[in-house]
Amino acid sequence: MSEPVTIKVDGREFEVKPGELVIKAAEAQGTYIPRFCWHRRMKPVGMCRMCLVEVDTGRGPMLVTACTNEVVDGMVVDTQSETVKKAQEAVLEFLLANHPLDCPVCDKGGECPLQDQAFAYGPGESRFVEIKRTFEKPIPISDLVLLDRERCILCARCTRFSEEISGDPLIEFQHRGNVTEVNTFPDHPFSSYFSGNTVQICPVGALTAKAYRFRARPWDLEMVESSSLYDPAHPRVSVHVSQNEILRLVGVDSEPVNHGWLSDKDRWGYEQVRSPGRLTTPLVRRGGDLEAVSWSEALDMVANRFDLILEESGGGSVAVLGGANGTNEDAYALSRFARTVLKTNNVDCRTGEGPSSHFVAATVDRALISDVDSADTILVWGPDLKETHPTLYLRVRRAAQELGVKLVIVHPRGTGLDDRASRILRYRPGGGHDLLAKMVAGEHEGLLEMFTGKVVAIVGQASLADAAELAESVAGFVRGQAATAKIMPLVERANTYGALDMGLSPDLLPGRIAYGPGQLDAWGELPEGAGRDSASVIAGLQSEELRAVLLVGADPVGNSHNPSGAAEALELAEYVVSIDTFLNDSNQFADVIFPAAGFSEKEGTVTNLEGRVQKVNEIIPAPGQSRPDWAILDDLSSIMGRPMGLNAAAQISKEIAEVAPAYQGISWDLLEWDARDGAIVPIEGAQPLTHIPVMVEGPKGPSAELLLHQARVMYDDGVRLRNSPSLHPLAPGAVALISPDDAKRLGAKDDSMVRVVTSKGEGEFAARIDAATPPGVVFVPLNQPGAARLGTDPVVRVTVVT
């Protein structure tokens, strides 16, 4: 780090970092220089000219933009001179000359930098008497975002975001001079997963969100900070509410996590919260139909039935699935309820995909998101981050693009990061271990040398055809090359990391403890033996070894790769209880359904993919009679005579900090005051269970002319998205992506119906000819409407139907 330099701003002297932009250095010392185009997360362009200041570096004062000039020793900055004032007033008068001043009907009114800076720095009146510029308005630039061009001040924030940050350069300036406008290219809408960020950073009301447009005045909104709903990195959001209804989410700039950015799914995913489809009362099945009943009736019924089954067959005959969609407090209550009330260790929050729970929960050294910034090499061998881990995708993209980090991408087809990769390796679905063996043998020239220095390995299940142990083997391989490599094991559902940390896995207990007798004295005697994971629970129900199952935010029929097995299991199950926010494909088999509180309807904590614990907050009441999971479980425990004594989420949080070793030191006070960006666990000392990934041999990949690649994409057909009217239409639907070569060979065109047949099942899909899919591979996005489940065997046949 070089020596600080001394600059003078408006007569006050400061020491600042050399090379810092004047606008940043001045702001850090309390001098705000007005600006429109400059944004701290993007490169300066110096276009709006609002930040003009006079700078003297020994050659007399020069009028320059503070956003493009770096400090040098001895620089004297004047932000108040007559010349500066003249320039500021002029720029504002120019900006307002053609601005429609339709503030009373503009979404941005009241939170608009143009209004605020016109108030603070403007001339107070306009001398413009000519006719203002007009455009057709609004024009949709994507399915979610509208553009009113006459409001635009041409600051290039949105266009820079799309090019520099998200890598979808689909909006650009067109024409020139006074008729310059932002627009999309013909037939290429701004179909980005990140389009909402442009609305967030627009300094005027030019870009507006369809879902929010004309819905509120900002001063009527109540705001509370929370963590977002879907993204496993848990970017911070500000939840904006009016009259008990969420109207929008705004990304909060958290340096270690998201830099303010959100995916569109996280930004607009709140729509399901106020969906009319939400469950509002307990439901009980009577004569085949679900009937609304009172809480006491439903709770008594479930408690008695569970008691009866436990008495007859013991805890080993019941199972608990789910818990990854709620808070850590909910997950803890569920974990404790299963082990101490239901007396069962058949507990799993996973869906049968992805690396092992031990690996996910307990790997050391685990990488932080910010580790990618300073890495020498990042390996991504896992899901296409753009589809499943959107803010991590942006961070890795930035590292490769702006920070010079080498990026190695291994995936069965093209991914969103390929254009920034130093090295791309493809493998055929199911052939991951074969590729790994070749890598180990040094068959890829220059590759092993890339795994030196600071290495971050982001690993997960790239394809349903991957063997479950592949991700861990990759991590083990990287460790073998670079002993200090940091590992980031990926799973896809929002709070899976928190749920595993709370012990929602047959081999784990809260606080990253391996499951076993005597491991958690606070819970007393634990059920013996290895519990069942989700696949084994489904099998146990199918074979009727298990009698009852409790589903907590779990939908094994709608969201697994064995839907018919899950449906059969639930049909055969003697007793199915569900705690959920919606009716779904699985709880249609339930005997009793409890309505649960959801996002923004309860307080608690969540844990993200790097082990960062953050606070989530309640800002709206849960609909109808719905309640938090933990409260429902606590009531059941009381009726069943083994009361857990849980009476508030805050109290559960304290209990977690007491009994879960990795969570010692976590408190809401800490998260609300000293650790606003969250705290990484374990914060005090080591975690009891430390998992070191090892490379194991895996199965040989299948050889067939065509192999099936299945993976999750951003927009799915889960029940929450089905209840999000803005997002659900963006799902690709039942499609099969094939390479141009294969399409030619098969005689398929775009939108041809093709039949895809595997050893496990078959279905009809609309063909999409896709350059990112290599020849010999068929890509079928998982969890799409109407898409039949094809199983995990990648050998596939494709024929054209029409």
Q: Residue numbers of the site for other proteins (CB under 8 A)? A: 44-50, 52, 63, 68-69, 83, 86-87, 89-91, 93-95, 97-98, 127-128, 130, 153-154, 156, 173, 175-180
Strand partners, 709: 779
Rounded to the nearest 10 degrees, what angle do helices 629-639 and 295-313 cross at? 60
Q: Please, are residues 147 and 155 in contact by the beta-carbon 8 Å criterion?
A: no
> Helix H segments across 403-514?
432-440, 447-450, 470-481, 496-501
Q: Which residues contact 61 (CB under 8 A, 6 or more apart)?
A: 54, 55, 76, 78, 81, 83
By beta-carbon proximity to other proteins, the closer residue of 152 and 508 is 152
Of 262, 495, 298, the closest CA to residue 391 belongs to: 262
| In the complex, minimum distance from the CB of residue 62 to other proteins, in angstroms, rounded to a whole number | 8
| In the complex, minimum distance from the CB of residue 18 to other proteins, in angstroms, rounded to a whole number | 15
| In the complex, minimum distance from the CB of residue 77 to other proteins, in angstroms, rounded to a whole number | 16
| In the complex, minimum distance from the CB of residue 103 to other proteins, in angstroms, rounded to a whole number | 19
By beta-carbon proximity to other proteins, the closer residue of 93 and 418 is 93
By beta-carbon proximity to other proteins, the closer residue of 32 and 173 is 173
By beta-carbon proximity to other proteins, the closer residue of 179 and 403 is 179
Rounded to the nearest 10 degrees, what angle do helices 113-121 and 82-97 cross at? 140
Residues in the chain: 802
CA distance 776 to 793: 15
CA distance 8 to 440: 57
Q: What is the dihedral of CA 24, 26, 31, 36, to 10 degrees?
A: -40
Of 325, 263, 278, 277, the closest CA to residue 715 belongs to: 263
Cα dihedral 309, 313, 317, 323 sign? positive
| In the complex, minimum distance from the CB of residue 125 to other proteins, in angstroms, rounded to a whole number | 12
By beta-carbon proximity to other proteins, the closer residue of 159 and 258 is 159
- Core vs surface per residue 721-758: b (16+ CB within 10 A) or e: bbbbebbbebbbbbbbbbbeebbeebebeeebebebeb
By beta-carbon proximity to other proteins, the closer residue of 95 and 229 is 95
**For 716, left (φ over 0), alpha (ψ -120 to 50), or beta?**
beta
| In the complex, minimum distance from the CB of residue 82 to other proteins, in angstroms, rounded to a whole number | 9
By beta-carbon proximity to other proteins, the closer residue of 59 and 673 is 59
By beta-carbon proximity to other proteins, the closer residue of 172 and 793 is 172
By beta-carbon proximity to other proteins, the closer residue of 66 and 640 is 66
Q: Which residues contact 510 (CB under 8 A, 6 or more apart)?
A: 332, 335, 336, 501, 502, 503, 520, 656, 659, 660, 663
| In the complex, minimum distance from the CB of residue 69 to other proteins, in angstroms, rounded to a whole number | 8
By beta-carbon proximity to other proteins, the closer residue of 120 and 308 is 120
| In the complex, minimum distance from the CB of residue 674 to other proteins, in angstroms, rounded to a whole number | 40
**CA 541-633-350 angle, 5° bins:** 45
| In the complex, minimum distance from the CB of residue 33 to other proteins, in angstroms, rounded to a whole number | 15
By beta-carbon proximity to other proteins, the closer residue of 120 and 686 is 120
Rounded to the nearest 10 degrees, what angle do helices 432-440 and 470-481 cross at? 10
By beta-carbon proximity to other proteins, the closer residue of 18 and 761 is 18
| In the complex, minimum distance from the CB of residue 153 to other proteins, in angstroms, rounded to a whole number | 7
Per DSSP, the three-state class of 305 is helix
| In the complex, minimum distance from the CB of residue 156 to other proteins, in angstroms, rounded to a whole number | 8
Pairing label, strands 753-757, 762-769: antiparallel
The radius of gyration computed from the CA coordinates of the chain, to the nearest angstrom, equals 28
DSSP 457-485: EEE--SSTTS-TTHHHHHHHHHHHH-TT-
